[in-house]
């Protein structure tokens, strides 16, 4: 990415089910769904949203190999999307195991996301 226009951050939690992808998707949604940037096309080559580059950086606590990167990428509607996974986030007790939620244990997964948009 040559130029970064903006960076948004978000946090996602999967309280039950220990699904790192669910937490990652929620973190990306948290980062991008509270913004409206109608003037962004002024900065993009050809004034086209499909020319933007989006890099998602995810701080994931456990089960990185289980992360479905395509599901995370699907949250970004335009441009070319890359995903970088780093150590981080948190796994902490939820205080309860719910069999009906398919809990394997009482951990909840917390993922942090940084979404960089540019061209």
Count: domains in the chain:
1
Give the residues across from 57 on adjacent strands. 84, 114
Task: Return the H-helix or E-strand segment holding 30.
Answer: helix 20-32
Q: What is the mean pLDDT of residues 6-33?
A: 96
Look-up of token digits 């226009």? 5
What distance in Å separates the CA atoms of residue 93 and residue 84, rounded to the nearest whole number?
26
Please report, for the domain that includes residue 104, its CATH number. 3.30.1330.20
For residue 65, the enclosing domain spans 4-118
pTM over 0.85: yes
> CB under 8 Å to 89, separation ≥6 — which residues?
23, 58, 59, 60, 61, 109, 110, 111, 112
pLDDT tens per residue, range 33-69: 988 888 888 888 899 999 999 999 999 999 999 999 9
């Amino acid at each position: 990415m040559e130029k970064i226009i903006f960076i948004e951050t978000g946090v996602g939690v999967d309280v039950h089910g220990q699904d790192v992808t669910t937490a990652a998707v929620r973190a990306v949604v948290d980062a991008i769904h509270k913004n409206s940037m109608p003037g962004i096309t002024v900065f993009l080559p050809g004034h086209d949203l499909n020319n933007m580059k989006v890099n998602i950086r995810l701080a994931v606590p456990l089960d990185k190999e289980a992360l479905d990167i395509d599901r995370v990428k699907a949250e970004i509607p335009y441009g070319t999307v890359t995903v970088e996974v780093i150590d981080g986030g948190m796994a902490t007790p939820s205080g309860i195991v719910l069999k009906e939620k398919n809990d394997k244990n009482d951990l909840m997964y917390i993922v942090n996301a940084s979404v960089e948009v540019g061209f």
